[in-house]
Chains A and B, each alone.
Chain A
Amino acid sequence: MNPLSSPAEATPRQDQMREQLLSDVTACLGDALVESHINVGNDLCVRIATDAWATSAAALKASLGFDYFCFLSAIDWMPSPFGKGEEDPTAEREERSTEIKQGLAGGETRMQVFARLVNHRTHVGITMKTDVPDAAPEVPSWVSVFAGANWHERETHEMFGISFSGHPDLRNMYLPTDFEGHPLRKDFPLLSRMVKPWPGIVDVEPLPGGGDEDEAEGSAP
């Protein structure tokens, strides 16, 4: 910890505020709230039951004033079978861990949809997550609650292959219509790394005799 920083003063107040918020959210959502986590001084993270994903958003908007839609996306928790593409592609591939370990507020499935809402009066935000069933990756759509979720769900659909029931129009936004695969899934390889290892990796190897770290970081072209 840096001696110059003093987060100790601000932390308890923030924490209390989020504890209070969590109890309000629990009262509002009831059984739909599966798990929660307070990231002290930063964020409140809640996990919602998949079936109640849209109704919970509507409830939070109506009763707790979370009326600002920030973003919606997904996380694929599977470790990438390709690593960071740092090693020689012709060499024997090393064993990698395939254990799926979810982040804050837990989870049971490989993929999770997560989104963020903010109360524009109190300026306090909440991160919401929900499990995406592995067999049929589909969650309820938020479009009827927040019109702005439309594009975010389209993007999530093409990048992760998660569909949103009740979404009016899940066309691709970025990829060609006949594109195969879902680029942000971890098992989708980054082709440029498959043909040639990333040269930038030498930058973070410890240099003999130290050296200036800024020089080693490389510069923008």
Chain B
Amino acid sequence: MDPIHQFQVQNLIPLGKLGNASIAFTNSAAFMLAAVVLLTVFLLGATTRKAAVPSRLQSAAELTYEFVADMLCSTAGKEGMRFFPFVFTLFMFVLTLNLFGLIPYAFSVTSHIIITAALALTVFLIVLTYGLVRHGLHFFNLFVPKGVPILILPMIVAIEILSFVSRPISHSVRLFANMLAGHIALQVFAGFIILLGTTLGAIGWVGGVLPFAMIVALLALELLVAFLQAYVFAILTCIYLNDAIHPGH
């Protein structure tokens, strides 16, 4: 009944202690491992027997490849393709975890901000590192727009830097909040059925059809959100990478 209970991280296999924090193989880690294994099996299975006329599995893999490659090419250009393995991994990982979360009783890993923040910070650090390595200190020109009067330039630079630093926050919060809100809504409507049934008896169970219909509709919406948020996460990664790659395109 508690809508938050589903997000509880449980220790499955305790692995010892690091300082005061206990290290354990959690249900969150288990689902991440499952996602990685599933993706590996899917992609290996799709690419071991390559045929000119692709099998169903192979064309599914080709579709995902083309989808991500198109997205990357159109936002970050040809040169962005060197980041293809990273963006593809990120997109497939987030998408699989989002979809896993929709299975009843499954744990939705991406509804934890620590996971999405870690992913967003990885992107942020890669953009920063690659930009600095590629363009040197010239990269900081990103924060100095052209044609701004010298008098207000310090303020503009400060605003640009804050805007840059705030990226990982909006990047991570968007995915996390969407997943969290969706799963809480599902749980609350499911709670209504139980509540109606246990308090009103037979009439309540019949009335429970209404929230149940709502759950079905919400689940369809959540399926869309799961895909859309993985897409948004990946395309924002592409846009941010574009900053590091392209000097004044």
A binds B: no
Binding site for A on B (CB under 8 A): none
